[in-house]
Amino acid sequence: MSSAAQSLRLIVILFFLAMAVNWPYAFSSTYLNTPVDQFKEFLNESLGGDMTEGKYDLWWDLIQNIWFVGFFIGIFLNPLVNDRLGRRYGMLIANVCILFAAVLQWLAVFLHVPVLLIIGRAIASTATAVAFQSLVLYLQESPPTHIRGTVSFLSEITFAIFCIEGTMLGTDELLGNNLPWLTASILPLCIFAVIYLYFIPETPKFLLISGAERSAVEHSFRFFHGPGVNIPAVIKETEIEITQESFSITCSPSILLALDLIRVSHLRKALFLSVCCLQNCIALWTFIYNSTHFLEDINIDSGISKWSATAMMIVYAIFTIIGGSFVDRWGRRKILIPFSYLNALSIALFTLFTQLQKAQDFWKYFAVAALIFYASSYGFGVGAISWFISSELTPIQYRTLMQSACYSINTISVVISTFVVLPFYYWIGSYCFLILYTIPSMFCLFYITRNLPETKGKEIHEIVNELKN
Q: Which of 413, 285, 287, 430 is nearest to 349 (CA)?
A: 430
Per 3-state DSSP, the chain is made up of helix, strand and coil in percentages (nearest 5) of 80, 0, 20
Count how many residues are written for the chain: 469
Taking residues 390-417, report their average pLDDT: 89
Segment 84-115, tens digit of pLDDT: 899 999 999 999 999 999 999 999 999 999 99
Q: Which of 154, 199, 159, 141 is nearest to 11 (CA)?
A: 154
Delimit the domains of the chain by residue range.
1-200, 266-469
Comparing 289 with 360, which gets the higher pLDDT? 360
Alpha helix stretches (DSSP H) within 378-459: 383-392, 399-428, 431-433, 439-451
Taking residues 55-81, report their average pLDDT: 86
Please tell me the CATH superfamily of domain 1-200, with its number: MFS general substrate transporter like domains (1.20.1250.20)
Alpha-carbon span 277 to 297, nearest angstrom? 31
Residue 301 identity: D
Alpha-carbon span 149 to 456, nearest angstrom? 7
Q: What percent of the chain has pLDDT over 70?
A: 97
What is the distance in angstroms between the CA of the first residue and the CA of the last residue of the chain? 40
pLDDT, the chain, mean: 88
**What fold is seen in the domain 266-469?**
Growth Hormone; Chain: A; (1.20.1250)
b/e code 80-91 from CB counts within 10 Å (16+ = b): ebbbeebbbebb
Segment 10-63, tens digit of pLDDT: 999 999 999 999 999 989 888 887 787 888 888 888 887 777 777 887 888 888
Q: Given a cut of 50, is residue 251 above it in pLDDT?
A: no
Alpha-carbon span 441 to 64, nearest angstrom? 25
Q: Given a cut of 90, is residue 438 above it in pLDDT?
A: yes
HSE value, Cβ hemisphere, 13 Å, CA-based, for 291? 30
Taking residues 419-424, report their average pLDDT: 86
Q: Are 187 and 175 in contact (CB under 8 A)?
A: no
Instruction: Say yes or no: do domains 1-200 and 266-469 share a fold.
Output: yes
* pLDDT band at residue 1 under the 50/70/90 scheme: low
